[in-house]
Amino acid sequence: MDREALRSVENNAGIPDYIKSLDDGVTALLIDLEEESQEALDQLIARTKKASSGFELERDFEVTSDLKEITDYWNVRKGVFPSVGGMRKPGTSVIIEDVAVSAEHLTSAVMDMRQMLDELGYNDAVIYGHVLDGNLHFIFAQDFHKQEELKKYENMIFRLSRLIVGKYDGSLKAEHGTGINMAPFVAYEWGETIYKHMREIKKAFDPTGILNPGVIISDDAEIHLRSFKPMPVIDEAVVDKISLFKKIWIWDRHLPRPVKKKTLARLHKAEDTAIDSMKVVYFPSCISQSMGPAVKESERRSLIEVSTEVLEKAGYTVIYPEKMNTLCCGTPWESKGFFDIADAKSSELEKALLKASKDGKYPVLCDTSPCTDRMLRVMTDRLKLYEPVEFIHDHLLDKLELKKTEEALAFHITCTSTKMGLQDKFIAVAKACTENPVFPEEVGCCGFAGDKGFTHPEINTWALRNLKLQVNSLSAGYSNSRTCEIGLSRNSGIDYRSIMYLVSDAIKS
């Protein structure tokens, strides 16, 4: 990762503080070392240190097997792309390209690319990639509205092709597909003879040219400069019209069965009658009140039942807000642009929680992370609001006797948990329940995006494309958002459920 890549994430939560103090021109290597025994791992570490000894290091070579530190380091790498997208100027589009060169040319290729990008005015572009493969990604924000910006883009792509192919005999594409953007340069990269054979093969299978026209094989030398979709500039405060359209919901074995009516009835009958006891206000989210365990899952208890059992075993008297079937935090409305309705629902819930908690005397647990995130943003700080992981960490671990399993179990830290800075507590809760917690690498946002995973499952599938190979040999996974868990289950081969289920199973009887 070059300095601009590091700069793009240095203010994010969970990023090591020292990154901010690194000088310009510093490059970081994140090296994953694995072996079958500690002895073999120690030898590998020694060889790695020796290999790096000839370089001028800004910091001493650091090795860790601590799960939290490993997670922090991976957060640096995983945060680059979304951070660059978040920092782009309004009206610009985020472009990611990837090239490859032989490993012996990697250092000079990075330096040449950096110089090229700076000379053309792409000073905020970032470079990162996979050293072992000689694979370099670079991300930049491009304005497609102005002719001079298009000319700059044309010059950059041309210079890139001459640099990577002409100077380093590299590849203009590594992981990503060639597509349209590099189609005019395929003949230059491979030579006219091989390109001629490519065209013959293409024609044999697609004589009329109807399959992906212009992709990889094209007669148009400027096809990469046509049909841009400029990003419109919209005032952040404007939500003028909402277009309603028919949605097709995708149903499969991972979708939930309804919560039992008798479970919901209990919520409306429970009263605060205990006098001398610990008390907690439990607000089951709308999702938890409607969505039970997955249709084909062996677990039959709803999250409401499990959470209540865990709280009571920890010695708490559980209080529910009045008129639970009318309460909502407002998140579904906010996500659709109905901000007035969202605020009205949040205000209604806030009043109910203040009443149930005796004006903030008792802590409030909401069992869904995204809902808690909104509540923390818009509600009074008199309320002590918690989502499951933080409440377990702060209020249950010291009250429950848990028996760790030796089974390897998967865990997914949701986007809102990351925003709330709960990564360390998530890891601590996982370690309290299992000797072998697994936090899959290269898996960030699950892509379910509220309810979009129901109607656009392909987004969810793409976001979790690296998950299945890492967890499908495990028995279960855990998180703290029901919809995220549905998408994780669908794309992993194992059942994900709330981390409350794991705590419930770990309690010594």
DSSP character string of 476-494: -EEES-HHHHHHHHHTTSS
Tokens of 284: 């089951």
Give pLDDT, residue 275: 57
Coil/strand/helix, residue 9: helix
Distance CA 248, CA 359 (A): 43
Distance CA 323, CA 309 (A): 21
CA distances from 368 to 98, 106, 388 (A): 38, 45, 7
Relative to beta strand 256-258, strand 291-294 is antiparallel
pLDDT in tens, 369-380: 999 999 999 999
Tokens of 378: 């818009």
Check whether 55 has a pLDDT greater than 60: yes
pLDDT bucket at 360, cuts 50 / 70 / 90: very high
- Averaged pLDDT for residues 20-24: 90
Residues ≥6 apart with Cβ < 8 Å to 43: 35
Give pLDDT, residue 414: 95
- Averaged pLDDT for residues 138-148: 88
Tokens of 118: 């700076």
Check whether 48 has a pLDDT greater than 60: yes
pLDDT bucket at 281, cuts 50 / 70 / 90: very high
- Percent pLDDT > 70 in the chain is 93
Q: Which of 56-65, 158-167, 466-475 has the lowest mean pLDDT?
A: 56-65
Q: Which of 229-243, 319-333, 347-361 has the lowest mean pLDDT?
A: 229-243
Query: Taking Cα atoms as reference points, which of 32, 28, 30 lies closest to residue 41?
Result: 32
Residues ≥6 apart with Cβ < 8 Å to 12: 75, 79, 83
Fold for the domain defined by 256-394: Rossmann fold (3.40.50)
pLDDT bucket at 345, cuts 50 / 70 / 90: very high
Coil/strand/helix, residue 411: strand
- Averaged pLDDT for residues 199-224: 92
- Percent pLDDT > 90 in the chain is 56
Give pLDDT, residue 242: 43
Give pLDDT, residue 244: 45
Of 247 and 303, which is predicted with more confidence?
303
Beta-strand ranges (E) seen in 155-261 are: 256-258
Q: Which of 76-80, 111-115, 244-248 has the highest mean pLDDT?
A: 111-115
Give pLDDT, residue 274: 56
Q: What is the DSSP letter of 507?
A: B
Instruction: Please enumerate, as own/partner, the contacts of 114-119 that have beta carbons within 8 Å and a separation of 24 or more.
Output: 114/2, 116/156, 116/159, 116/160, 116/163, 117/156
Give pLDDT, residue 241: 45
Q: What is the pLDDT of the chain when averaged over all its residues? A: 88
Give pLDDT, residue 175: 83
- Averaged pLDDT for residues 171-179: 85
Predicted TM-score (pTM) of the model is 0.63
pLDDT bucket at 247, cuts 50 / 70 / 90: low
Query: Taking Cα atoms as reference points, which of 265, 239, 247, 257 lies closest to residue 333?
Result: 239
- Averaged pLDDT for residues 14-37: 88
Q: Which of 5-9, 105-109, 274-278 has the lowest mean pLDDT?
A: 274-278
Check whether 266 has a pLDDT greater than 70: no
CATH code for the structural domain at 3-225: 3.30.70.2740
Beta-strand ranges (E) seen in 157-277 are: 256-258
Please say whether the beta carbons of 247 and 207 come within 8 A.
Answer: no
Of 446 and 86, which is predicted with more confidence?
446
Q: Which residues pair with 354 in a beta bridge?
A: none
Q: What is the C-alpha end-to-end distance of the chain, expressed in Å?
A: 49
- Averaged pLDDT for residues 56-76: 84
Q: Which of 178-182, 285-289, 445-449 has the lowest mean pLDDT?
A: 178-182
pLDDT bucket at 461, cuts 50 / 70 / 90: very high
pLDDT bucket at 69, cuts 50 / 70 / 90: confident
Helix (H) or strand (E) holding 497, with range, is strand 496-498
Please say whether the beta carbons of 113 and 64 come within 8 A.
Answer: no
pLDDT bucket at 268, cuts 50 / 70 / 90: low
Give pLDDT, residue 184: 93
Q: Domain limits of the chain? A: 3-225, 256-394, 402-506
Check whether 78 has a pLDDT greater than 90: no
Q: Which of 44-58, 263-277, 402-416 has the lowest mean pLDDT?
A: 263-277
